[in-house]
């Protein structure tokens, strides 16, 4: 095949692009051919989300894999974590889920892993896949790869999820779930059936549940403030004890307390760390560098070891594998589990939170209140600026001389006696992301955020 212009859909650790101009069926075909060659694959798991374009792109991707002689284990409509699970469970040479997750309707993408569900970084495959897809300099085609329906793998996946919850510890709970018309609905139904059959005392309310690629309730991205009332309101109206909402491919889940309050991601990491350390004292816990004090202090109090990793799933997964950490969490709602191939899941956190609430005998709101008071934070604030490096230099010049600690593992982190911040360029969007936290001083967080807004705006 002839060479094509550089592919802008290849990002730091996955593929994401605007339909037609950045990602289309020709590009998907090329990615399939390139993935097969670079991975030396003979069997590849293939899944897809609910978007209409996902089916078309998955078909083109499959043709590319087949023309390279690869046999495809087809999951059909499924979540990204089901691709991760099936890749290891079926002993495949790699896995690809066609998904745009929470991106706008005119986008799509792919999340890829190699054998053992290990992440593919720039140096160990991603750059080579991109270069080969662009050049089209493929080995001679050897068509003949077969497509096998592998959707029955979901039963084994559900059995794996059930290993993460102690059913005997569960108390009666009314749970509201919002699938956002994404891929989560059918998978959750399979999990709910297993839970109820095993005696879990759950009263489940489903909203926006049926998969619908037109997303009649809007793109499922519960991290956005404007989308949170879609779950918060029904939680209160139904008198639920907790609400859970997922993004489109459900590798992220988001929590709401019984009063409809959204639970920020950094506090979820601290709570899930507690859930694991209560069962396995002394374990390692991975966290990202954006908002850290609640997690670090909670892990230390419980006798664990907190370890920092760069943001992004490929970095966290590698840190999990390198350290043997039992759990890793990002404030963006990605949660990773040693006993789930060190991969992220949007279903396991729900199970752990249900159990934690049951064990502590407290509402999620009450558990959160003490964390909010002790560790107020700004939440992630995004800035679209012309020169990211110049802005970071401005902030560094202003604050670095006053800092008591400095960390450049991922962006710029500066710590002071009673507050700290992390400022970093996004791996996936042309944005600067700012997070500020303090110890027991919400007014200080607000003041420093206003101060840094002025500096960045200037």
Give the residue among 209, 224, 221, 198 at the shortest CA–CA distance from 354.
Answer: 198
| Residue 101 designated active-site | yes
Angle (CA) 318-437-309 rounded to 5° is 10
d(CA 315, CA 336): 11
Radius of gyration of the chain (CA): 22
d(CA 196, CA 186): 15
Determine the distance from the C-alpha atom of residue 34 to the mean position of all C-alpha atoms in its chain, rounded to a whole number: 25
Catalytic residue among 53, 54, 101, 309: 101
Residues 6 or more apart in contact with residue 206 via CB below 8 angstroms: 176, 177, 179, 185, 188
Two tokens, residue 229: 């009332």
- What beta strand segments (E) does 144-189 contain? 147-149, 173-178
Q: What is the largest CA-CA distance in the chain?
A: 65
Q: How many residues does the chain have?
A: 458
Two tokens, residue 63: 């043709």
Give the residue among 449, 431, 440 at the shortest CA–CA distance from 373.
Answer: 440
Q: Please list, residue by residue across 259-290, b when 16 or more beta carbons sit within 10 angstroms of its beta carbon and e when fewer do.
A: ebbbbbbbbbbbbbbbbbbeeeeebbbbbbbb
d(CA 416, CA 194): 49
256 pairs with which residues across the strands? 243, 262
What is the DSSP-derived secondary structure letter of residue 124?
A: I
d(CA 257, CA 273): 19
Two tokens, residue 190: 């399979």
Angle (CA) 391-395-399 rounded to 5° is 170
d(CA 121, CA 14): 9
In sign, the C-alpha dihedral spanning 421, 423, 427, 429 is positive
Give the residue among 263, 262, 283 at the shortest CA–CA distance from 271.
Answer: 263
State the catalytic residues: 101
């Amino acid at each position: 095949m002839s060479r094509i212009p550089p592919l802008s859909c290849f990002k730091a650790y996955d593929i994401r692009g605007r339909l037609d101009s950045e990602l289309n069926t020709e590009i998907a075909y090329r990615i399939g051919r390139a993935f097969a060659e670079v991975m030396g694959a003979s069997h590849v798991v293939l899944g897809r989300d609910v978007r209409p374009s996902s089916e078309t792109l998955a078909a083109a991707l499959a043709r590319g894999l087949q023309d390279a002689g690869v046999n495809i284990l087809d999951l059909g409509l499924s979540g990204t974590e089901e691709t991760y699970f099936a890749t290891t469970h079926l002993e495949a040479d790699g896995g690809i889920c066609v998904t745009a997750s929470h991106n706008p309707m005119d986008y799509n993408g792919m999340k890829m892993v190699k054998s053992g569900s290990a992440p593919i970084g720039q140096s160990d495959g991603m750059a080579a896949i991109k270069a080969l897809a662009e050049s089209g300099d493929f080995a001679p085609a050897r068509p003949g790869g077969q497509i096998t329906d592998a959707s029955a793998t979901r039963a084994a996946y559900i059995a794996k999820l059930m290993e993460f919850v102690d059913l005997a510890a569960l108390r009666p709970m009314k749970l509201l779930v919002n699938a956002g018309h994404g891929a989560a609905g059918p998978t959750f139904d399979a999990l709910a059936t297993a839970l109820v059959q095993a005696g879990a005392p759950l009263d489940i309310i489903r909203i926006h549940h049926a998969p619908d690629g037109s997303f009649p309730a809007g793109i499922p991205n519960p991290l956005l403030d404007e989308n949170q009332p879609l779950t918060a309101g029904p939680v209160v109206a139904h008198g639920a004890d907790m609400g859970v909402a997922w993004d489109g491919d459900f590798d992220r889940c988001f929590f709401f307390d019984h009063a409809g309050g959204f639970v920020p991601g950094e506090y979820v990491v601290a709570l899930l760390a507690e859930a694991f350390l209560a069962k396995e004292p002394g374990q390692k816990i991975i966290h990202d560098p954006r908002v850290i004090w609640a997690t670090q202090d909670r892990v230390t109090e419980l006798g664990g070891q907190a370890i920092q990793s760069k943001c992004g799933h490929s970095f966290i997964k590698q840190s999990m594998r390198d350290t043997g950490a039992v759990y890793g969490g990002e404030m963006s709602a990605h949660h990773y589990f040693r006993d789930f191939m060190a991969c992220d899941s949007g279903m396991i956190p729900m199970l752990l939170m249900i159990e934690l609430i049951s064990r502590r005998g407290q509402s999620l709101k009450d558990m959160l209140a003490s964390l909010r008071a002790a560790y107020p934070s700004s939440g992630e604030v995004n800035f679209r600026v012309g020169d990211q490096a110049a802005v970071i230099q401005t902030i560094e010049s202003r604050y670095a001389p006053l800092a008591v600690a400095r960390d450049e593992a991922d962006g710029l982190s500066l710590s002071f006696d009673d507050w700290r911040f992390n400022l970093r360029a996004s791996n996936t969007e042309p944005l600067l992301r700012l997070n500020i936290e303090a110890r027991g001083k919400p007014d200080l967080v607000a003041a420093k955020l206003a101060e840094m807004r002025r500096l960045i705006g200037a």
